[in-house]
Amino acid sequence: MRVVAAMSGGVDSAVAAARVRDAGHDVVGVHLALSQSAATLRESARGCCTLEDAGDARRVADRLGIPFYVWDLADRFREDVVEDFVAEYAAGRTPNPCLRCNERIKFAALLDKAVALGFDAVATGHYAQVVDGPGGRELHRAVDPAKDQSYVLGVLDADQLARSIFPLGGSTKEQVRAEAAQRGFAVARKPDSHDICFIPDGDTRGFLADRLGEAPGPVVDAHTGAVVGEHRGTHGFTVGQRRGLGVPRAAQDGRPRYVTATDPVTRTVTIGTADLLGIDTITAERARWCGVAPVGDQAYGAQLRAHGEEVPARVRVTGDGVEVVLEQRVRGVAPGQSVVLYDGSRVVGSATIARTGTAAR
């Protein structure tokens, strides 16, 4: 097959490209330029897509003896990921930009361009497995639970999955780093990037404030209804947040307070004690299935965060969405986040959370 190896400049994508080449495929390395003002150097382990990362990817490609190109997708990334991120926070939701990037950039814009140029598949350094099942190709968890990235790949549909290769799904991170060192890759000990790639300093509140401005409003105690503080914008808060509430402890009866709701229309941030955070019902929309859509009521596992625990649930498909009833309450789930559904290790699909609540028990 002719394969595009997406090379971020990190150790995972380097080893993934090497394994695809060793498997006998015709491989071309591609680095995605996603920033219109890429930094020259990385800031510790934060961020990605810098000029340094592009150089690291090129050096790996040279060592592998494969062609290498940089594809400029900065405009598409800004529109589909960054602007979507800002708009979701402005609407009082908490998005996951990594899922959006996989959905609209790596396995849409990149894959579409690769196919248009005559390639058969895209290979990435994600930790997940593709298995041939009775109904076609299936997406499964990686063997290394600490590195499993199937959650952020839950947005892939069957056609995208059919053209995706994840060579690292059967390996641990330690094995990948050891292999990179054996191959002589300079990135063997390079730290992993983390947090949000387009906010390299980690200051999400400051990033949003620069783009949305200040919109002051009250901080209200959910138990008493009293105004206990003031904030500079609801976009600086998300459900489950404990730090940075700007509320004097004297106004909290000594118990920790968490954000329980944000309302950008009334500019209100509501805070309360931990017992108010638990939810066990979810209404989600914009479902995407990694194969044939399920029918009727199903018993699945539901994962609500990239590294969260899977919770047993009853799931009912409703048009382009799902209704999920969890067997136990989970804290800190916000509209805008994604619920990814599992049948054993197999990823069934995902949907974006619109509403949460609690069921009578």
Mean pLDDT of the chain: 91
Mean pLDDT of the 55-72 span: 96
Tens of pLDDT, residue by residue over 315-336, are 999 989 999 999 999 998 999 9
pLDDT value, residue 75 = 92
Structure tokens belonging to residue 337: 């986040």
pTM of the entire predicted model: 0.91
Calculate mean pLDDT across residues 17-43: 82
pLDDT of residue 153: 96
Lowest mean pLDDT among 10-14, 178-182, 226-230, 283-287: 226-230
Q: Is there a contact between 156 and 288 (Cβ–Cβ < 8 Å)?
A: yes
Q: Give me the pLDDT at residue 38, please.
A: 55
Q: Categorize the per-residue pLDDT at 42 as very low, low, confident or very high, splitting at 50, 70 and 90.
A: very low
**pLDDT recorded at residue 90:** 92
Please compute the mean of the pLDDT values over residues 25-43 and round it to a whole number. 76
Q: How far is CA 281 from CA 205, 251, 331, 350, in A?
A: 29, 31, 12, 16
Query: pLDDT-derived band of residue 49, with 50, 70 and 90 as boundaries?
Result: low
Beta strands of 179-310 (E only): which ranges?
217-221, 227-231, 258-263, 268-272, 279-289, 297-303
**Own/partner long-range contacts of 144-147 (Cβ < 8 Å, ≥24 apart):** 144/171, 144/172, 144/173, 146/172, 146/173, 147/172, 147/173
DSSP letter, residue 106: I
The confidence band for 361, taking pLDDT boundaries of 50, 70 and 90, is: low
pLDDT value at residue 45: 46
| CB-based contact 149:142 (threshold 8 Å) | yes
Is the separation of the CB atoms in 3 and 120 below 8 Å?
Answer: yes
Query: Catalytic residues, which ones?
Result: 101, 197
How confident is the model over 139-159, as pLDDT tens digits? 999 999 999 999 999 999 999
Q: Stretch 203-220: mean pLDDT, rounded? A: 91
Q: What are the structural domains, with CATH classification, of the chain?
A: 2-125+167-189 (3.40.50.620), 216-276 (2.30.30), 279-357 (2.40.30.10)
pLDDT(44) > 50: no
